Structures are given as structure tokens and as C-alpha cells.
Homo-oligomer: A and B are copies of this chain.
């Protein structure tokens, strides 16, 4: 735990730290997280650790089995389908009612430019990050703190899925140009078309993800 404190309660800091381990894939899906081992590793009490575990369980990143401990969630086809259902609802909805001058649009445009640059440089991790910024900005179009927070949770769960894939970052590249088209439509004041495009995008992404997951499961 070398990062910034911010004076937050220990359990929250712990949860954040463990979350980064989860989404970076340092903790593998299915892995059991022993209370003793982790409280030693982070040099905190079991009680504090358990609070953090509970928070992450509520976020769907960990799974809790009575008297057996907590495990890293193993993403399933069902969860992928559900997650994309949520994304269609939130992202398409945000686009559909987007106001042409919303500040988040600048962020979207910037993220697209960034993604293109990273792709041309062959920096696939960078492409993934830019893509993430892009979609977060779309949610910001809806100007709702609660939706933004909810999307963060969904987003973290999705990254858990990516952890199962063999060459995950490569997945994002084909979508950079679709992002471009979408933000352009929003800039042109065509929110309905943008939403439709996004639906196509998400359906495609979902299929790709499911196919990749299927391959990964067989292995």
C-alpha cells in the first residue's frame, strides 16, 4: 500500500488497493483470498480486512461463501450478458438525451484522438485506457453522480472478464473508429443516431467478448 492516503478509513483504502489488484489481474478469478494471508500481507487487522472484503463483495468483484472465505469472482457468460445489458441501457440512454454542448463531449473527442494515436503506436494498453475514458465520458453525459458510480462498478467487473482473455488489449483496437463516428454524431446534434450506433457497437463488443470467453473457458 504505497499509494495516497487521503485520510480515508482504512477499509476503504484497502478495498481500493485490492480492487486495483483485481482489475490488473494480479489476483486471478477463482482464487481464494485468505484472511490470515492478506491481513499479514497488508499489515492490517483481520477485522479491517473483512470490512474491505465486504465492500468488494457488494461490488461483485469478490464472492463470499459461508465459512469458506472470499474468492475472486469468476466471470460467467451470464454476467457478461448482464453487464452489456446494463451498458446498453446506460450508454445508449446517456447518448440519446445528450445535450450538444455538454462538456463531456470534449472529453470523448480527446479520448478518441488519444486512442487513435496509441493504436498507431501499437500501444494496446493505451488504447484500452483511452477506450475506458471514452465510455466513462459517455456516462458523464447523463450528469448523474449515482449513474457514474454505478458504471464504475460495472466497469470494474468487466475488467475482471478481460483478465480471463489471452490477448485482451487487442480487443479494443477495432472500436476506436466506431468511437470516432459516435462522438461525431453527438457533435453534429444527432443523439438518436449516436445511440443507435452505440447499440451496434455494444452488441458487437458483447459478441466478441463472449466468443473470446468461450475460447478461454475451453482452455
Binding site for B on A (CB under 8 A): 7, 9, 11, 47, 50-51, 54-55, 58, 60, 64, 66, 82-83, 85-86, 89-90, 92-94, 142-147, 150, 154
The answer to whether B85 touches A144, judged by C-beta atoms less than 8 angstroms apart, is yes
CB distance from A119 to the nearest CB of B (A): 30
The answer to whether A147 touches B51, judged by C-beta atoms less than 8 angstroms apart, is no
The answer to whether B55 touches A146, judged by C-beta atoms less than 8 angstroms apart, is no
The answer to whether A142 touches B51, judged by C-beta atoms less than 8 angstroms apart, is no
CB distance from A7 to the nearest CB of B (A): 7
Report the nearest B residue to A154, measured CB to CB.
B146
The answer to whether A142 touches B9, judged by C-beta atoms less than 8 angstroms apart, is no
CB distance from A71 to the nearest CB of B (A): 15
The answer to whether B54 touches A146, judged by C-beta atoms less than 8 angstroms apart, is no
Name A's interface SS.
Answer: helix
CB distance from A19 to the nearest CB of B (A): 13
Chain B residues within an 8 Å CB radius of A154 = 146
Give Cα distance in the complex from A82 to B145, angstroms.
Answer: 7
Q: List 21 A-B contacts (CB under 8 A).
A: A7-B66, A50-B51, A51-B51, A51-B54, A54-B54, A55-B55, A55-B58, A60-B146, A82-B146, A83-B146, A85-B142, A85-B144, A85-B147, A86-B144, A86-B146, A86-B147, A89-B89, A89-B94, A89-B142, A89-B147, A146-B154
Give Cα distance in the complex from A7 to B64, angstroms.
Answer: 13
The 10 A-B residue pairs whose C-beta atoms are closest, nearest first, are A85-B144, A89-B93, A47-B47, A93-B93, A86-B146, A82-B144, A150-B150, A51-B51, A51-B54, A82-B146
Chain B residues within an 8 Å CB radius of A60 = 146
Can you add 6 more A-B contacts, CB < 8 Å, to A86-B144, A89-B94, A89-B144? A7-B66, A11-B54, A51-B54, A82-B144, A89-B147, A150-B150
CB distance from A81 to the nearest CB of B (A): 9
Chain B residues within an 8 Å CB radius of A54 = 11, 51, 54-55
Chain B residues within an 8 Å CB radius of A94 = 89
Give Cα distance in the complex from A154 to B147, angstroms.
Answer: 10
